[in-house]
């Protein structure tokens, strides 16, 4: 059936039904496979005009540590979702091989590596924050971190920043 | 199917107002669609729209922000300046294309 309208509907792009929706994503993992969920969601939220903050803590520091951010790894060891014989997954070279394969698959669908993804997120207006306790534990300061990280902040600061936000812990 | 009148023309649209037949689109219609969502068209808008349409014709998919940057040469920052807040969707709307389906 065809309906004919005198006036075309216009998508409600700027009427924010969520009323200033805000998203905070806590990134606590430093493996390649666990870096992507936060990056993809942050990017999607920003593309929807949602204020988005990423807070990097503990192993998540590897995502913003200049010396590791481009070299995250994936290990199939102890991961039943790979559906491979567990006894083989611990063999030497397996992590390097699995990492190589995963990076190739990610690249194959034109999804950027971690540093470029963070660049895209900050170009879209996303905010990056680093955890104070993790920085202290690992003896890192802002010079060691990706230069688009806005600041190293305390847990209390994060609670302030995330006021009224939806929070995702990864 | 819904047919709506835009610029005195009958155009197929979906429930939200996105055009459902890219072939019915032309640049005059784009000006009207841009006005509907408060965008003042410039040559930069037109260049982005032209790329999005030619990319859609080749790949069958509306380009995402990432695709606009890597294949279309329109940086993510520029996309947010040209089509504020929801750049990929606004671009699709003005270009007479379906909403992008890609995640990144």
> Contacts of residue B86 in chain A, CB cutoff 8 Å?
13, 47-49
Place of tokens 């666990």: A34
Give the pairing of strands B9-13 and B2-6.
antiparallel
Tens-digit pLDDT profile for residues A26-77: 999 999 999 999 999 999 999 999 999 999 999 999 999 999 999 999 998 8
Looking at CA atoms only, how far is residue B22 from chain A in angstroms?
Answer: 16
Distances (CA, A) of A162 to A24, A56, A136, A169: 6, 13, 22, 12
The answer to whether B83 is a known catalytic residue is no
> Contacts of residue B10 in chain A, CB cutoff 8 Å?
4
As for the ipTM of the complex, it is 0.87
At residue A122, φ and ψ (nearest 5 deg) are -75, -30
Short-list B81, B69, B7, B14, CA closest to B44: B81
The confidence score (pLDDT) of residue A73 equals: 95
Q: For residue A106, what is the nearest residue in chain B, using CA coordinates?
A: B104
SS3 A12: coil
> Contacts of residue A111 in chain B, CB cutoff 8 Å?
66, 104
Tens-digit pLDDT profile for residues A102-137: 999 999 988 999 999 999 999 999 999 999 999 999
Least confident of A53-57, B7-11, B21-25, B46-50: B7-11
A142-A147-A148-A150 Cα dihedral, nearest 10 degrees: 20
Q: What letter does residue A109 receive in the DSSP assignment?
A: T
The confidence score (pLDDT) of residue A90 equals: 85
């Amino acid at each position: 059936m065809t309906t004919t309208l005198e006036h075309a509907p216009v998508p409600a792009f700027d009427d924010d039904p969520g009323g200033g929706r805000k998203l905070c994503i806590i990134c606590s993992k430093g493996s390649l496979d666990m870096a992507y969920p936060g990056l993809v969601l942050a990017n999607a939220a920003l593309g929807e005009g949602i204020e988005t903050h990423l807070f990097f803590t503990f192993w998540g520091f590897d995502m913003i540590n200049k010396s590791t951010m481009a070299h995250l790894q994936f290990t199939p060891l102890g991961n039943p979702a790979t559906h491979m014989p567990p006894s083989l997954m611990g063999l030497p070279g397996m992590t390097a091989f699995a990492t190589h394969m995963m990076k190739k698959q990610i690249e194959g669908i034109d999804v950027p590596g971690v540093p470029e993804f963070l660049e895209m997120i900050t170009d879209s207006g996303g905010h990056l924050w680093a955890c104070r306790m993790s920085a202290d534990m690992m003896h890192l300061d802002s010079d060691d971190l990706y230069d688009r990280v806005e600041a190293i902040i305390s847990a209390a600061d994060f609670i302030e920043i995330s006021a009224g936000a939806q929070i995702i812990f990864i | 199917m819904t047919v709506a009148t835009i610029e005195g023309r009958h155009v197929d649209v979906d429930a939200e107002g996105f055009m459902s037949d890219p072939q019915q689109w032309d640049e005059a219609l784009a000006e009207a669609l841009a006005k509907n969502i408060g965008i003042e068209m410039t040559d930069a808008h037109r260049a982005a729209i032209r790329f999005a349409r030619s990319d859609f014709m080749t790949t069958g998919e509306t380009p995402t922000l990432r695709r606009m940057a890597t294949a279309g040469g329109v940086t993510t920052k520029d996309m947010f300046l040209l089509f504020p807040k929801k750049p990929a969707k606004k671009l699709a709307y003005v270009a007479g294309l379906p909403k992008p389906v890609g995640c990144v």
